[in-house]
A and B are shown apart, each in its own frame.
Chain A
Amino acid sequence: MSGAIGDWTRGAEAIVYQICSACGARQYFRRGFCAACGASDLAEHRASGAGTVYATSLVCRAATPETRAHVPYNIVLVDTDEGFRMMAHGDNDLAIGDKVTARFAQFAGRLVPYFAKAK
């Protein structure tokens, strides 16, 4: 695997995905191998943050004191322009099919990707 890049799961303001050098598959959940073909040669890339809303769910009942302070918050699935799907936060009025871009926000003491409608 070449070029490990820090991403939001590690506190850096970036969305990172992997491309398999053998079969070209793209994957979002970081692993040391390609889940499509098993090859271990993967390149890491920083995503542009542009995408399209696939689904939304506005959380109104949270389960911890830290997350309860944020309700309501919108959990979204976004299909990125790079071709992988990711979960993130977004504006409460986002609808399926909206073109969006990512920034980063603080949530329950962590950095999380946050999508708003593309300008």
Chain B
Amino acid sequence: MSFVTGVGLTSYGKHEGSSSLDLMSQAAELAISDAGLKRSEIDGILCGYSTVSPHIMLATVFAEHFGIRPSYAHAVQVGGATGLAMTMLAHHLVDAGVARHVLVVGGENRLTGQSRDASIQALAQVGHPEYEVTLGPTIPAYYGLVATRYMHEYGVTERDLAEFAVLMRKHAMLHPGAQFHQPITVADVMASKPVAMPLKLLDCCPVSDGGAAFVISREATGDERVRIRGCAQAHTHQHVTAAPALSELGAEISIAKAKDVSGIGISDVRYAAVYDSFTITLAMLLEDLGLAKRGEAAARVRAGYFNQDGEMPLNTHGGLLSYGHCGVGGAMAHLVEAHLQMTGRAGNRQVHDASIALLHGDGGVLSSHVSMFLERVR
């Protein structure tokens, strides 16, 4: 058994002068105090990576900087799925008795610590160095390829994809920490600058500075108890050239396994936190996970299904698309928001029932997947 006992999140956007370690430290301090713990009670640390400040031992660099001597520590690297992969590992570590309180932390000054070109170049390296990167693709191009194929097979349109950007912006407007607060329309998305067609600027998440952290514990530390019910992964490929057919991607495999180990079905889920690096990512994952039928996720957005007051509130903080994306911390914000919703602390974004949440992360080009169910227990 394991519980998410504390969460911490900085605002995303520009944090001029803050290093990756500064942002990780801020988030970690928030999460530990949210759990009602002292730093000395943290006996495990899992951290992600920083493209701005790469290091072969980031977890111990952070532990020393933060002032903790843990009995278990290392970094984890699964691209955008890193946050949930670390959470899954922490769940198993505390369940196995290896540690009592594992701090999971990610943070990066990706926006102000390097040029946007440097970020785009660093991320494009998830492609094959000889057979793909030499062709000059970018991350949006890898997802653009997935998008044209998905649109072709399931009749999805660019206007359909735009709906997801509009929804995430609408949600971000209610969160003071989000990078973007100006409302946008489908027409704005359609008119935004082409990046890698069919993806335009507003179909893409931004580059951000920010940090996020959680504490995963063997026992609850307060009255608000959020338990990790079950989780699973799937890794089908690394490079988009080697990806399986759209109907055989990893999200469907990991969600099936997560449902098996947790005994939870999609009909039990009341809140969804789904990776949204691009509008196509969110559209596909919602359909892969069974939160909408094939080709019908956009219709559900238009019908208000994923709104704060809808049947399945989705990424109520604004997601990567509008809260922001600082690398490993990016998708960790989804879990922080899910925890706030589950513990009734989401303020003006509060949904009426977040008793069971489904979280899903994706790394690479739909390469690595982690699905997880959280449950509020009283």
**Residues of A with Cβ closer than 8 Å to B?**
9, 28-29, 54-64, 67, 70, 72-73, 75-77, 85-89, 96-97, 107-108, 110, 112
Contacts and interface: CB of A to CB of B under 8 A. Distances in A.
B152 interface: yes
A61 B152 contact: no
B117 A59 contact: no
B134 interface: yes
| Most chain A beta-carbon contacts within 10 A, residue among B136, B144, B148, B242 | B136
Contacts of B132: 87
Contacts, number: 104
B131 A87 contact: yes
B195 A60 contact: yes
Interface string B118-150: 001100100010111011111011101111110
Interface residues of B, number: 34
Contact of B130 (A9, A76, A97): A9
A4 to B, nearest CB: 14
Contacts of B146: 55
Contact of A107 (B135, B147, B148, B196): B135
B53 interface: no
5 contacts: A57-B197, A77-B240, A86-B241, A87-B137, A89-B135
Given A28-B241, A96-B148, A96-B152, A60 B131 contact: no
Contact of A57 (B128, B134, B147, B239): B147
B194 interface: yes
Contact of B241 (A63, A67, A73, A87): A87
Given A75-B135, A75-B145, A112-B134, A63 B124 contact: yes
B241 A85 contact: yes
Given A61-B196, A87-B240, A110 B134 contact: yes
Given A55-B149, A57-B196, A57-B197, A86 B138 contact: no
6 nearest A-B pairs in the assembled complex, by CB-CB distance: A57-B144, A63-B120, A67-B136, A60-B194, A58-B197, A55-B145
Contacts of A54: 149
A9 B131 contact: yes
B134 A9 contact: yes
A21 B45 CA distance: 47
B241 to A, nearest CB: 5
Interface in B137-191: 137-138, 140-142, 144-149, 152
A54 B147 CA distance: 11
A60 B136 contact: no
A43 B128 CA distance: 22
B196 A60 contact: yes
Contacts of B240: 77, 87
B137 to A, nearest CB: 5
